[in-house]
């Protein structure tokens, strides 16, 4: 019993931010359930408020695909952990399942389709419906990235949740979303890519333009002349960025077409390896192999054919669409507009666009990059909306 308790506390702390670890631990229970999709056994942790007997509102958290559960400070993982911390502190039960192939859950993430993830989510809802502490009239799904699309897909099925919070959900098809991402395989290739060098060149061009403007001022040019020069350099840089973006999207779309049309993995991987080496001459062989394997998995192939729009008219519960305006992975304007179009028959849809926030609701204006702080206001806004769903 002591060993089991220690294991539970350690697992809970893995999903908690450093600030959360300083607080008294929640009531934590290990969860085991079976998904109707293949009879796969899934494990996870349910966190209950420290005070009260309920019944409490409850939510199942659905992560972005590929979220690193072993790194509590990765942006995707930190977002869900922070959501859980905040909701539990406000009297909401939170259940977070380990994805298939992780943390004791059976199956493999590489072969799990979005439809199977939705079946897993519904199984988690049904588990919570059996718990006396849960108010079944306030039982929702909160998803991030692909997890947000899983939540919306599950909400269109029988045994749907009573509310959905979709953070950075896609409105584009899977193929188009991936093709338009900054680097669709960037998490595999790492930072030393053509695109990283391009970003360095952009910053250098901006710095050079500012230095030249300073020289113009020193040599007697008036403010209008200096501004004209800066405007010209800005337009030139924007045009170069647009050309680079178009080339990247064209290359990524071509790779995805190879994946889609070539069902034989060995053949597809050989073609993709050649395409990667042509674009990234310095790429290491292990990185090539890891990349082509990642984008030819059954799960990746399934996502390429995914279209979120056809099932959205069947979503009748309240929906909160949340997204940062600085999301570089899922363009806010494009995807929110498509989602709202698909949900137009649902009068209980709320859109919340958050200025200056990233894909994982980090404050990019303050500290750009991996370690940017999470927005506490976004967590408050989310809870306030969930609380209003009575």
Q: Is residue 37 domain-shared with residue 66, that is, in the same domain?
A: yes
d(CA 268, CA 270): 5
Of 236, 268, 298, the one marking the end of a domain is 298
Decide if pLDDT at 182 tops 90: no
Q: pLDDT class for 127, splitting at 50, 70, 90?
A: very high
pLDDT for 374 equals 85
Q: Is residue 178 domain-resident?
A: no
Q: Is residue 179 domain-resident?
A: no
Lowest mean pLDDT among 15-24, 106-115, 162-171: 15-24
26 against 335, higher pLDDT: 335
Q: Is residue 63 domain-shared with residue 134, that is, in the same domain?
A: yes
Decide if pLDDT at 139 tops 60: yes
d(CA 248, CA 184): 10
Per DSSP, the residues of 88-101 read: HHTTEEEEEEPPTT
What are the Cα distances from residue 379, in Å, to 1, 63, 243, 362?
35, 16, 37, 11
User: Is 158 strand, coil or helix?
Assistant: coil
Q: Are strands 56-62 and 134-144 parallel, antiparallel or unpaired?
A: parallel
Burial 23-61, CB ≥16 within 10 A → b, else e: eeebebeebebebebeebebbbbbbbbeeeeebbbbbbb
Q: Is residue 239 domain-shared with residue 292, that is, in the same domain?
A: yes
Q: Is residue 84 domain-resident?
A: yes
Q: Which domain holds residue 6?
A: 2-173+306-387
d(CA 5, CA 195): 47
Q: Is residue 140 domain-shared with residue 259, that is, in the same domain?
A: no
Assign residue 160 the CATH number of its domain: 3.40.50.1820
How many CB atoms neighbour CB 98 within 10 A?
Answer: 18
> Are 347 and 316 contacting, i.e. CB atoms less than 8 angstroms apart?
no
Contacts of 282 (CB under 8 A, 6+ apart): 192
d(CA 364, CA 317): 32
373 against 310, higher pLDDT: 310
Q: pLDDT class for 364, splitting at 50, 70, 90?
A: confident
Report, as an integer, the average pLDDT of 88-99. 93
Burial 279-314, CB ≥16 within 10 A → b, else e: ebeebeeebbeebbeebbbebbbbbbebebeebbee
Decide if pLDDT at 19 tops 60: no
> Are 174 and 304 contacting, i.e. CB atoms less than 8 angstroms apart?
yes
Q: Is residue 192 domain-shared with residue 168, that is, in the same domain?
A: no
pLDDT for 154 equals 97
Report the number of distinct structural domains present in the chain.
2
| Locus of tokens 């942006």 | 75
Q: Is residue 21 domain-shared with residue 164, that is, in the same domain?
A: yes
Of 248, 263, 298, the one marking the end of a domain is 298
Q: Is residue 44 domain-shared with residue 99, that is, in the same domain?
A: yes
How many CB atoms neighbour CB 198 within 10 A?
Answer: 16
pTM of the model: 0.84
Decide if pLDDT at 284 tops 50: yes
pLDDT for 267 equals 97
> Are 327 and 378 contacting, i.e. CB atoms less than 8 angstroms apart?
no
Q: Is residue 146 domain-shared with residue 292, that is, in the same domain?
A: no
Q: Is residue 18 domain-shared with residue 65, that is, in the same domain?
A: yes
Tokens of 337: 């507009």
Q: Is residue 97 domain-shared with residue 231, that is, in the same domain?
A: no
Q: Is residue 272 domain-resident?
A: yes
pLDDT for 70 equals 73
Q: Is residue 181 domain-resident?
A: no
Average pLDDT of the chain is 87
Q: Is residue 149 domain-shared with residue 291, that is, in the same domain?
A: no
Lowest mean pLDDT among 35-39, 44-48, 72-76, 254-258: 72-76
d(CA 108, CA 299): 10
pLDDT for 14 equals 39
Q: Is residue 290 domain-resident?
A: yes
pLDDT for 185 equals 65
56 against 366, higher pLDDT: 56
Decide if pLDDT at 381 tops 50: yes
**What percentage of the chain has pLDDT greater than the value 70?**
89
3 against 89, higher pLDDT: 89
pLDDT for 112 equals 93
d(CA 139, CA 59): 6
d(CA 13, CA 135): 26
Q: Is residue 203 domain-resident?
A: yes
Q: Is residue 292 domain-shared with residue 312, that is, in the same domain?
A: no
Q: Is residue 180 domain-resident?
A: no
Decide if pLDDT at 259 tops 90: yes
pLDDT for 171 equals 97
CA angle 65, 69, 70 (to 5 degrees): 140
Of 239, 266, 298, the one marking the end of a domain is 298
Lowest mean pLDDT among 33-42, 156-165, 272-281: 272-281
pLDDT for 186 equals 56
């Amino acid at each position: 019993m002591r060993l089991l308790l220690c294991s539970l506390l350690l697992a809970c702390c893995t999903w908690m931010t450093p600030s959360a670890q300083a607080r008294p631990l929640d009531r934590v229970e290990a969860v085991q359930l079976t998904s109707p999709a293949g009879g796969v056994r899934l494990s996870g942790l349910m966190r209950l408020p420290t005070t009260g007997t309920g019944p409490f509102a409850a939510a199942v958290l659905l992560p972005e695909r590929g979220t690193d559960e072993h790194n509590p400070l990765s942006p995707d993982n930190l977002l869900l952990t922070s959501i859980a911390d905040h909701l539990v502190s406000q009297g909401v039960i939170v259940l977070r399942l380990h994805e298939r192939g992780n943390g004791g859950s059976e199956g493999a993430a590489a072969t799990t389709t979005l439809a199977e993830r939705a079946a897993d989510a519904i199984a988690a809802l049904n588990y919570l419906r059996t718990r006396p502490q849960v108010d079944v009239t306030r039982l929702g799904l909160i998803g991030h990235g692909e997890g947000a699309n899983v939540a919306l897909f599950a909400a269109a099925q029988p045994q749907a949740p009573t509310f959905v919070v979709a953070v950075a959900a896609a409105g584009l098809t899977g193929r188009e979303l991936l093709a338009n991402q900054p680097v669709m395989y960037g998490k595999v290739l790492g930072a030393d890519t053509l695109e990283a060098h391009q970003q360095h060149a952009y910053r250098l061009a901006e710095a050079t333009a500012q230095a030249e403007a300073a020289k113009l001022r020193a040599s007697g040019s008036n403010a209008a002349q200096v501004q004209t020069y800066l405007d010209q350099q800005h337009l030139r840089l924007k045009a170069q960025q647009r050309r680079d973006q178009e080339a990247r999207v064209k290359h990524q779309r071509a790779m995805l077409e190879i994946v889609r049309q070539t069902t034989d993995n060995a053949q597809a991987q050989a073609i993709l390896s050649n395409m990667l080496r042509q674009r990234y001459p310095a790429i290491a062989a292990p990185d090539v192999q890891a990349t082509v394997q990642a984008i030819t998995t059954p799960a990746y192939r399934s996502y390429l054919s995914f279209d979120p729009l056809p099932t959205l008219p069947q979503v009748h519960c309240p929906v909160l669409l949340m997204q940062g305006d600085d999301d570089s992975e899922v363009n806010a304007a494009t995807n929110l507009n498509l989602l709202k179009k698909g949900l137009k028959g649902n009068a209980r849809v709320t859109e919340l666009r958050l200025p200056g926030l990233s894909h994982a609701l980090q404050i990019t204006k303050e500290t750009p990059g991996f370690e940017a702080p999470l927005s506490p206001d976004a967590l408050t806004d989310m809870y306030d909306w969930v609380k209003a769903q009575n």
